[in-house]
């Protein structure tokens, strides 16, 4: 283990400790309460994130029922990531998020999805530093909570523009910036540019968190070594392997979390149970299918599992299809019923 990396330790955001400096990425349909509690089961997340929430929609959500807002006390600290194009959209949502216990407010400046850009939010805001500054400074004036921003590298590799943009965010009161190390038009096939995240780190005084294609401790170590950033945000790698945060916490930040050999059917069953606790059937079925697309990558022929569960018409059908796949993939797995008996 590289002791120089371990020594970085916790981040402090307006007195809020983030230890270790590991964050789950906001992912649509995946960064919900059940997923966060599955991460919590293994440990290692220093600050949880909601999925990206449309600010204009948030004031109409019922905090006790909404799949988007719902949380438990254990999911702490929790950052609510908000998507907005104007202060008029953003400020009521900040009030709602604070009212349901948000410990951090994060503003999205990085989403490249065309519908989001058409409404003027996400990465579209990075094309207008003036509009972005108005939005962020309005948010800063509206809350004393830690206020953070998530950005991409921009439209092109323009060092001067990116430098001015992140310095603007810092000047408007950002407490932390997360940088996804790709340009707006670049997909996952392009490796993240950790050297450019390092440039952002060198320009600002506030903490910088790096994001992009962290699937292992070695990936995380390389990212920290190249960029010098203060922490990591992990998305797809942690959905696929929910115990990854505990491995990163141990391997990069000197924690001593127990990391047992994962029992994949057991993890899937636990996640399904958390979905049942959190959502109505149609809501949980959609989320189970989304999770299965990633989790199935743990198996040599996992695409068969993803396709079969993806084609299920009901919750019971999906669970039966998953059970049949696990039986074929793991000779020690005897079905959900045998798990219940052994646990009892």
Confidence bin at 342 (pLDDT 50/70/90): very low
Angle at the Cα of 259 (from 255 to 264), degrees rounded to 5? 150
Model confidence at 340: pLDDT above 70 = no
DSSP string across 78-141: EEEEEE-SSHHHHHHHHHHHHHTT-SEEEEEE----HHHHHTT-GGGGGG-HHHHHHHHHHHHH
Spatial distance between the Cα atoms of 16 and 148, rounded to a whole number of angstroms: 13
Residues written for the chain: 344
In this predicted model, which residue has the larger pLDDT, 338 or 49? 49
Q: pLDDT tens for residues 35-57?
A: 999 999 999 999 999 999 999 99
Residue 130: predicted pLDDT: 95
Q: pLDDT tens for residues 109-165?
A: 999 999 999 999 999 999 999 999 999 999 999 999 999 999 999 999 999 999 999
Model confidence at 303: pLDDT above 90 = yes
Residue 71 three-state SS: coil
Residue written as tokens 């992990």? 234
Q: Which domains does the chain have, with CATH numbers?
A: 3-253 (3.20.20.70), 264-343 (no CATH)
Which is catalytic among the residues 47, 111, 172, 229? 111
Residue 111 a catalytic site member: yes
Strand pairing of 48-49 and 78-83?
parallel
Q: pLDDT tens for residues 161-177?
A: 999 999 999 999 999 99
* 256-264 mean pLDDT: 86
* 296-303 mean pLDDT: 94
Confidence bin at 341 (pLDDT 50/70/90): very low
Residue written as tokens 């699937």? 215
Sequence-distant (≥ 6) Cβ neighbours of residue 323 within 8 angstroms: 335, 336
């Amino acid at each position: 283990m590289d002791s120089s990396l371990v020594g970085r330790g916790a981040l402090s955001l307006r007195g809020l400790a983030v230890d270790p400096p590991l964050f789950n990425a906001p992912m649509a349909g995946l960064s919900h309460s059940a997923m966060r509690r599955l991460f919590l089961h293994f440990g290692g997340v220093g600050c949880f994130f909601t999925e990206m929430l449309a600010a204009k929609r948030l004031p109409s959500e019922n905090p006790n029922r909404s799949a988007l807002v719902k949380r438990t006390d254990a999911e702490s600290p929790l950052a609510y990531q908000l998507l907005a194009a104007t202060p008029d959209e953003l400020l009521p949502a900040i009030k709602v998020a604070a009212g349901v216990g948000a410990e951090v407010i994060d503003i999205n400046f990085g989403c490249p999805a065309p519908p989001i850009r058409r409404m003027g939010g996400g990465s579209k805001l990075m094309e207008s530093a003036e509009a972005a500054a108005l939005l962020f400074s309005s948010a800063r004036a509206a809350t004393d909570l830690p206020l953070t921003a998530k950005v991409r590298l921009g439209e092109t590799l323009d060092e001067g523009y990116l430098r001015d943009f992140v310095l603007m965010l810092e000047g408007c009161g950002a407490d932390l910036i997360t940088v996804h190390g790709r340009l707006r038009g670049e997909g996952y096939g392009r490796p993240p540019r950790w050297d450019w995240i390092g440039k952002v780190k060198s320009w600002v005084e506030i903490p910088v968190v790096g994001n992009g294609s962290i699937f292992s401790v070695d990936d995380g170590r390389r990212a920290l070594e190249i960029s010098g950033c203060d922490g990591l945000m992990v998305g797809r790698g942690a959905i696929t392997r929910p115990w990854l945060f505990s491995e990163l916490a141990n391997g990069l930040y000197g924690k001593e979390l127990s990391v047992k050999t994962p029992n994949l059917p057991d993890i899937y069953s636990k996640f399904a149970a958390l979905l049942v606790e959190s959502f109505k059937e149609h809501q949980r079925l959609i989320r189970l299918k989304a999770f299965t697309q990633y989790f199935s990558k743990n198996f040599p022929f996992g695409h068969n599992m993803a396709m079969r569960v993806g084609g299920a018409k009901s919750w019971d059908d999906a669970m039966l299809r998953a059970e049949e796949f696990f039986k074929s993939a793991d000779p020690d797995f005897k079905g959900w019923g045998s798990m219940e008996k052994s646990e009892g």
